[in-house]
Amino acid sequence: MDREQQELQFLGFFGIFRYSFKTVFSWRKIFSQITLTLILPLSFVFLFQFQVSQLLFDKAIRDQNTRNRLSHKVSADWARFVLFKAAYFTVFLILSLLSTAAVVYTIACIYTAKQITFKKVMSVVPRVWKRLFVTFICSFAVALVYNVVAIGVLVLWAVVVGFSSIGIAIGIVLLILYIAGLLYITIVWNIASVVSVLEDIYGWKAMVKSRCLIKGKMGVSVGLFVVIGFCFGAIEAVFETFVVEGFGSSLAIRVVIGIICFLLLLKVMLFELVMQTVLYFVCKSYHHESIDRSALSGHLETFTGNYFPLRAKNVQLEESHV
């Protein structure tokens, strides 16, 4: 992270990718420790839930289609399926926020040339996690409202135009707009997560700051997250097809493909977290907001309990408009 701040604003799509890869390989030891401790179980939970969900779902459908099954038996099957999904989501969320906290804090320490150890990172993560959780709740609320509105628009579309030729064309346009909106919410949330760690704001304020930061870098941001999303989708599709469904594969091939998907997912998850942090610094530089390394270093120390700012208004990232 030794590139001059003024140069960061000129990093584009490929530049951010190269910079993120360089950061990971230059500090491979600490990132390997974070990966083994947090991202490995996160990846395992992500892939494991597909296998278990498929088994529970198939059993529920099979019991439902069997005439001599009692209704309470079918209800119990669906209840197990829903409870498992809820448990998966909870565990995945916790591990995801912990991983985000660890990676963002590590990169910030690298940027400020602070001495960083794995033990120090893990001691800070629980404190940072609370801020990230508040920001996630705000993002979740936005996504919930967005989807409720989308359902209302869907109903209106079905009632007014239906499945006529014009209606189908309008439906395609609405679908594209819906996907674009979800992508925008995802980008804002990811950058807001970085803001929640590196600045003195979180929650709604972090969301607002995130929206301001990505202005002017929207094209690059969309490109980066589309590529990452494609990687996740490809890994998931291959895993479900050849491992969960076992399409035309022997047990040995399914195990090999499962291991490959697992290893690839580890790398993609780590790279996504590094990339979104680098994107944050690029956006800051693009908007000519100076990054005071000494103040940022002091802000990071507040998470360890070894630093106490003299004034509550002191922030580590001070805005300087050029």
The Cα-based distances of 99 to 124, 190, 288 in angstroms read 12, 13, 29
Distance of CA 109 to the CA centre of its chain: 21
CA 36 to chain centre: 18
How far, in Å, are 30, 162, 250 from residue 24 at the CA level?
9, 50, 36
The token pair at 185 is 């919410």
Domain locations in the chain as residue ranges: 8-60+80-304
The predicted pLDDT at position 189 comes to 93
Write down the pLDDT at residue 300: 67
Measured at the CA of 248, the angle between CA 242 and CA 249, to 5 degrees, comes to 60
- Say how far apart CA 225 and CA 271 lie, in whole Å: 11
The structure tokens 């701040």 sit at 5
184 and 165 Cβ atoms separated by less than 8 Å: no
Residues with Cβ within 8 Å of 223's Cβ and at least 6 positions away in sequence, in order, are: 13
d(CA 209, CA 202): 9
CA distance 184 to 82: 28
| Cα radius of gyration rounded to whole Å, the chain | 22
Amino acid, res. 168 = I
Per-residue pLDDT tens listing for the chain (322 residues): 545 566 777 788 898 989 899 989 989 899 999 999 999 999 999 988 888 887 777 776 666 666 555 565 656 777 788 888 889 899 999 999 999 999 998 888 888 777 888 888 888 888 888 889 999 999 999 999 999 999 999 888 888 887 778 888 888 999 999 999 999 999 999 999 999 988 888 889 999 999 999 988 899 999 999 999 999 999 999 988 888 887 766 788 888 998 999 999 999 999 999 999 999 988 888 887 766 666 666 666 666 655 444 343 444 444 444 3
Q: What is the pLDDT of residue 157?
A: 86
CA distance 82 to 86: 6
For 86, half-sphere exposure in the C-beta direction (CA atoms, 13 angstrom radius) is: 6
* pLDDT at residue 81, rounded to an integer: 80
CA dist list (Å): 83 to 21, 48, 94, 217? 38, 15, 17, 40
User: What was the pLDDT predicted at 290?
Assistant: 67
pLDDT value at position 246?
A: 73
| CA nearest to 30, candidates 92, 116, 159, 123 | 116
Q: How far is CA 110 from CA 20, 145, 251, 274, 314, in A?
A: 13, 38, 44, 12, 22
- Predicted TM-score of the model (pTM): 0.83
Please report how the helices 71-111 and 293-301 are oriented relative to each other, as an axis angle in degrees rounded to 10: 130
Can you tell me the distance from the alpha carbon of 99 to that of 35, in angstroms, rounded to the nearest whole number? 8
Q: What is 250-294 written as a DSSP string?
A: -HHHHHHHHHHHHHHHHHHHHHHHHHHHHHHHHHHHHTT----HH
